[in-house]
């Protein structure tokens, strides 16, 4: 078991909206992603999803409002709640969610990506 | 559901080695703690435990080595692995672990604290 340095991990890739697994514990994944622009509306029927902003600013649109997250801020989207992340400029995020969580829930989108592990 | 600002949460308390719950998802807790000095050797028989350093430096002693974590670094202690956290200066950490995780495992110590929620 090695320690995980977030900055080193973020420097290993450039692509947007493509979460990378950086850790696993108790059947949950720790992931990081670089995001820019608009994602798709989706929900995860059975999984709560934690977003933490590491750099930049992320807006999470909800059907009844929106949350703006800056560096050092966290939001937990409860299971079943539709959300659409958006970042006007590139933003770096950390995600914490169950291993079985699907990227865009049951929505099939051009943005839907298979999960890969970042070694 | 409100967003969670880590700095605001850390500013709500001063005591050391007293984790505070700041979020919950998928039967896991997100906790923060301020630590300084030496904790006790313990393990969690059934729970993996994630440490992330938000400010300062944390050493996690293991029976066969040690891990030094700086700001933005993460270490996951697997279930059943004995560990003893140590911080020479005050250090702020974030923890992810299952709700049922006991503070010092089966070790009963003067440092053992009941979990409280940080509103």
* Rounded distance between C-alpha atoms, residue A65 and residue A23, angstroms: 31
* Both structure tokens of A75: 């939001």
CATH 2.60.120.10 applies to domain A6-117: yes
DSSP A53: E
Asked if B74 and A23 come within 8 Å (Cβ–Cβ), the reply is: yes
B21 CB within 8 Å of a chain A CB:
no
Q: What CATH topology corresponds to B6-99?
A: Jelly Rolls (2.60.120)
pLDDT score for B105:
86
Q: Which residues pair with A83 in a beta bridge?
A: A42, A62
Q: Kindly tell me if the per-residue pLDDT of A61 is higher than 90.
A: yes
The partner residue sitting opposite B26, judged by closest CB among A23, A73, A98, is A98
Task: Return the closest-CA partner of residue B33 out of B18, B48, B22, B43.
Answer: B18
Banded pLDDT at A81 (limits 50, 70, 90): very high
- Are the CB atoms for B94 and B30 separated by under 8 Å? yes
Element spanning B6, H or E: helix B6-10
Express each pLDDT in B66-84 by its tens digit.
Answer: 999 999 999 999 999 999 9
Q: What is the pLDDT along chain B (119 residues), one digit of tens a residue?
A: 799 999 999 999 999 999 999 999 999 999 999 999 999 999 999 999 999 999 999 999 999 999 999 999 999 999 999 999 999 999 999 999 999 998 888 888 888 887 778 76
How many CB atoms are located within 10 Å of the residue A86 CB?
Answer: 17
pLDDT score for B116:
77
The partner residue sitting opposite B6, judged by closest CB among A26, A47, A74, is A74
- Are the CB atoms for A116 and A15 separated by under 8 Å? no
- Are the CB atoms for A94 and A31 separated by under 8 Å? yes
B25 CB within 8 Å of a chain A CB:
yes
* Rounded distance between C-alpha atoms, residue A29 and residue A101, angstroms: 9
Q: Which burial class, exposed, middle or buried, applies to B65 when counting CB atoms under 10 A from its CB (0-12, 13-18, 19+)?
A: exposed
Q: Which residues of A touch B54 (CB under 8 A)?
A: 72
* CB < 8 Å from B in window 62-91 of A: 67-69, 72-78
Q: Which burial class, exposed, middle or buried, applies to A66 when counting CB atoms under 10 A from its CB (0-12, 13-18, 19+)?
A: exposed
Q: What are phi and psi of B9, to 5 degrees?
A: -65, -45
Q: B109 to chain A nearest CA, in Å?
A: 25
A53 CB within 8 Å of a chain B CB:
no
ipTM of the complex: 0.92
Q: Where are the domains of chain A?
A: 6-117
Which of A5, A11, A25 is the best mutation test for B, with the most CBs of B within 10 A? A25
Banded pLDDT at A50 (limits 50, 70, 90): very high
Asked if A26 and B7 come within 8 Å (Cβ–Cβ), the reply is: no
């Amino acid at each position: 078991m090695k320690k995980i340095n977030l900055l080193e991990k973020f420097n290993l890739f450039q692509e947007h909206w493509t979460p990378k697994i950086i850790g696993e514990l108790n059947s949950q994944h720790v992931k990081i992603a670089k995001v820019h622009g608009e994602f798709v509306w989706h929900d995860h029927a059975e999984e709560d999803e934690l977003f933490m902003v590491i750099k930049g600013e992320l807006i999470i649109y909800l059907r009844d409002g929106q949350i703006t997250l800056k560096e050092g801020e966290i939001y937990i989207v409860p299971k079943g709640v539709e959300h659409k992340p958006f970042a006007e400029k590139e933003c770096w995020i950390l995600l914490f969610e169950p291993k079985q969580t699907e990227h865009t829930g049951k929505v099939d989108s051009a943005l839907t990506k298979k999960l890969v592990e970042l070694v």
